[in-house]
Amino acid sequence: MNPGNEQDTITDEMVQKHGLSPEEYQRLLGVLGREPTFVELGVFSVMWSEHCSYKSSRIHLGRLPTTGPRVLIGPGENAGVVDLGDGLAACFKMESHNHPSYIEPYQGAATGVGGILRDVFTMGARPVALMDSLRFGRLDHPKTRGLVRGVVAGIAGYGNCMGVPTVAGETRFDRSYDGNCLVNAFCCGIVASDRIFLGTTGAPGNKVFYVGAGTGRDGIHGATMASTEFGEGSEEKRPTVQVGDPFQEKLLLEACLELMQGTAIVGIQDMGAAGLTSSSVEMAGRGGRGLLLRLDLVPMRETGMVPYELLLSESQERMLIVIEPGREQEVFDVFRKWDLSVAEIGEVTDDGVWRCTWHGEEVAAIPVAVLTDSAPKYDRPQQAPAALPGLPEIVDPDPVGRLPAMLADPDISDKQWIWRQYDHQVGTDTVVGPGADAALVRIKGTRKYLAYVCDSNGRHVVLDPFVGTAGQVAECARNLACVGATPVGLSDCMNFGNPRKPEIMWQFARSVDGMAEACRALGVPVISGNVSLYNETDGVGILPTPGLAMVGLYEGPPPRVAGRFPRGGLTVALLGGVGRSLGGSVYARQFGFDRHGSPPLVDYAAEVALHDALRALIGAGAVEVAHDLSDGGLLVALAECCMEGVGGIFNVGGDAGALYGEDHGRALIAFAPEHAVQVRALTEGVSFRELGHTGGDVLRLADTHGYAVAELQAVWRNSFPEWLNAGAVATLATA
C-alpha cells in the first residue's frame, strides 16, 4: 500500500506529537495488525483523543439515567431528542469550546456556537433557542476583561447572524479560571417527531456528499489540542484556531432543512471536531458499513492540500450527507440555490472498511470497527482529595448591611451588559428572556412553551462533587418550575481538570453519581452532553464545573408570572425553610472562605413538593411573581425581586445563614391578597412563611434597615459594566 504522502516510517516522536502514549501506539499496532501510514496515524490520533473517544469518562457516563417515556433519542447521536406530544419533539445539546476560546476568544466562542447549532440542525430540527454558560477568572486578572469582551462578542456575532435567539445564560468568576475560561454553548431545536435525521449510511451503493464551505487548513489538530493541558508554549498552537462564518452556516441551515423536506437523505452528519475523519467514521460505525472517500474531490479553499490535512481539518460550516443513488440532482439543486459548495465524494461500501483515496491511490484503509470500538477505555485511578477546612465562624456585626456588597458581587450583579449584545427576541416567540430564573419560549401554533435554564456552581461542587452536582440538578428543575414548566431532559457539559490525577477523576466520578441520583429522584433523563477534560494551566485545575442545561415544557394559556415585583400591594412569602448553609456561598467567598465547609444538601421530597406547588400556583394564575433562591440566598433574592423599582416592607433579618444561606428547595412568591386562600391551599405540604408586602420605592427590612431601591438598582446594574469599562482596553484586535 502506498500512503501517497511524504512520510512512510512512523517514529516515536511522531507518535508523541500525535498525542498517543507508547502504550496506545502498541494498541494501535495490535488492532491494525501493521504499521499505520502517516495519514492513518493522524486519523487514530483524533479518533482516540479524549475529545472524540471519551476514553477517560465513558465508563462513568454509563451510570447516568438516559431513558424515560419522552426520550426519543438519548446520548450518542449529534444531539438528544425528547417528545413534546402532538407530533413535536425538542432536540438539544450543550457542548464546550473552552480551549479554543481561551486562545482566540472571539473565534473560539463563535465557532462553539456554530458547532452546537450544527449538532441540532443535523438532526432535522430548526434551532429555536441558544444559551451560554461562561466562566472567567478573577476580575483583577489581566486577561479577564479581554476574554469577557471577546467571548461575548463572538457569541453575539455568530448567534445573532444565525437568527436564533440567545434566551438565557449564566456567567461566573473564580480564580481557578484565570488561565482556562469555560465557554459552554447550548442549542435547542424543534423537529417533527417522525422526521428526525440520523448520522448513518444505509445500504451499500449509497452516495456520500460533501456540502457547505470548502476545506482549508483550519484547526488541524484542534481535537488533539482540546485534550492536552495548557502550559508554557501553548501560544505556538495558535494557528490551529478556526474562523467561523455564520453567514455560510445560515445558508447551510436553510439548505439542509430544505433538502430534509424531501426523502433523498439517508443520513447526515456535521463535520465538527476532527472534521471529515470523525464524521465519516461515526456514520459508517452507526450504519455498520464501510465507506470510500475520494479525497481529491473534496471542495478545497486552499491550494496544495494533502490527504492528511483534508482528513484532519476542522474547517467550519460543513456537512456530510448520504443519499440513495439516483437522488443526486436534488442535492445539487438545493445547495446550488443557496450558493454552497456541493460535491459527491464517495460511497457506502459493504466491506466494513473505511477507505480513502487520493487521485485513485489508496491512502488509508482501516476497518471501521477498529476505529470505533477499539479506542482505549480507561478506568483511571480515583482518590478523594485531602479534606478541605471547615467553614470558620464569620464575624459580621451587620449582616443585613452587607446587601449592597452582595449585589455588587460578580456572580450576582446584573449581566445585562452581556445579554443585551445577544438578539434574544428574533423568532418572535420569547415570552421570558434573559435575566429571569428560566427563559420561556413559545412554540408557534401550539399551546406549548419550552423553558430553558443553564446552571453550574463550581463553588458548591468543589466542596463535595456528589452533593454539589445533585444540588445543581435540583436548582435547574426549580428554575423551570418558577416559570411553570416541568423538566423533560438535561444536557450536561462536564468541565474538569486533568483526569490522570486521581483527585480529579474522583471529582468527576462523584459528580456523575450525584447527577445520576438527582436526575432519578426528579425524573429528568440526561439525553446529551459532552466532556471537557484537561482544563488546567500549569498544573492548576479549574473548579470542577459540571455545566447543566435543562429544558422544561409548559402547556396551557400563556403563563403570567414574573421574577420581579410588578406592583405594590402584593403579599410576599417564602416557600421552603429558613436558610443556614453558608458553605460554598457567595457570602463566605466575600470573606475569603471559598474552599471551606460543605455545600447545602438536597431534600428530594421537599424539592418535588415545592416544584409541584410552584407549577400549580402558576397554572392557576394565583401568583404574580415566583423567584428561586440561589446565589446570595433569601436577601439577595428579595432584593432582585425589587429590581423593577418596586420595594416593600419585609420581616427579614437574623444571622448570615438566614439571610445569605444557599440552601436548596426554596423560592419566593408574591400574590394579590385576594388569592391568599388559594395560595395556601396550593402550597399545602410546603413550608410557607409570609415575609411582608410590596409597595413604595424602599426595601425595608426587619425595622432595622431601609434601602432606596434606586440605590440597590444602581449597585446591581452598574458594578459589572463599571468593572469592564475601568479597563477600557480597545477590542480592535479581537472583534
Give contact residues for another protein (rule: CB under 8 A): 103-104, 107, 153, 156-157, 160-163, 213, 216-218, 238-239, 241-248, 250-251, 301-302, 315-316, 337-339, 419-431, 442, 444, 558, 730-734
- Shortest approach of another protein to residue 243 CB, angstroms? 4
Residue 137 or 165 having the CB closest to another protein: 165
Strands 318-323 and 265-270: antiparallel
Whether 672 and 632 have beta carbons less than 8 Å apart is answered as no
Residue 426 or 578 having the CB closest to another protein: 426
- Shortest approach of another protein to residue 228 CB, angstroms? 18
- Shortest approach of another protein to residue 336 CB, angstroms? 11
Please tell me the distance from the alpha carbon of residue 352 to that of residue 358, in angstroms, as a whole number: 20
Residue 326 or 557 having the CB closest to another protein: 557
Residue 432 or 701 having the CB closest to another protein: 432
Q: Which residue of the set 18, 60, 97, 664 is catalytic?
A: 97
Q: Is 51 a catalytic residue?
A: yes
CB atoms closer than 10 angstroms to residue 631: 22
Whether 631 and 693 have beta carbons less than 8 Å apart is answered as no
Could you tell me which residues come within 8 angstroms of residue 219 by beta carbon, excluding any fewer than 6 positions away?
100, 240, 241, 242, 275, 313, 314, 315
- Shortest approach of another protein to residue 448 CB, angstroms? 13
- Shortest approach of another protein to residue 95 CB, angstroms? 21
- Shortest approach of another protein to residue 695 CB, angstroms? 25
Q: How far is CA 250 from CA 117, 206, 243, in A?
A: 10, 27, 15
Q: Which residue of the set 18, 51, 424, 611 is catalytic?
A: 51
Strands 667-671 and 571-575: antiparallel
Could you tell me which residues come within 8 angstroms of residue 201 by beta carbon, excluding any fewer than 6 positions away?
266, 267, 283, 284, 286, 287, 288, 289, 291, 322, 348
Q: Is 97 a catalytic residue?
A: yes
**Phi-psi bin for 583: left (phi > 0), alpha (psi -120 to 50), beta?**
beta
Please choose, from the candidates 635, 487, 484, the residue with its C-alpha nearest in 3D space to the C-alpha of residue 560.
Answer: 484
Residue 434 or 661 having the CB closest to another protein: 434
Residue 153 or 617 having the CB closest to another protein: 153
Whether 347 and 360 have beta carbons less than 8 Å apart is answered as no
Residue 220 or 516 having the CB closest to another protein: 220
Specify the 3-state DSSP secondary structure of 466. Answer: helix
- Shortest approach of another protein to residue 123 CB, angstroms? 20
- Give counts: helices (H), strands (E), the chain: 25, 28
- Shortest approach of another protein to residue 309 CB, angstroms? 10
Q: How far is CA 574 from CA 583, 636, 689, in A?
A: 21, 13, 5
Containing H/E element for 186?
strand 182-192
Strands 126-136 and 166-173: parallel
Please choose, from the candidates 333, 347, 184, the residue with its C-alpha nearest in 3D space to the C-alpha of residue 267.
Answer: 347
Residue 387 or 726 having the CB closest to another protein: 726
**Phi-psi bin for 317: left (phi > 0), alpha (psi -120 to 50), beta?**
left
Please tell me the distance from the alpha carbon of residue 321 to that of residue 323, in angstroms, as a whole number: 6
Active-site residue numbers? Answer: 51, 97
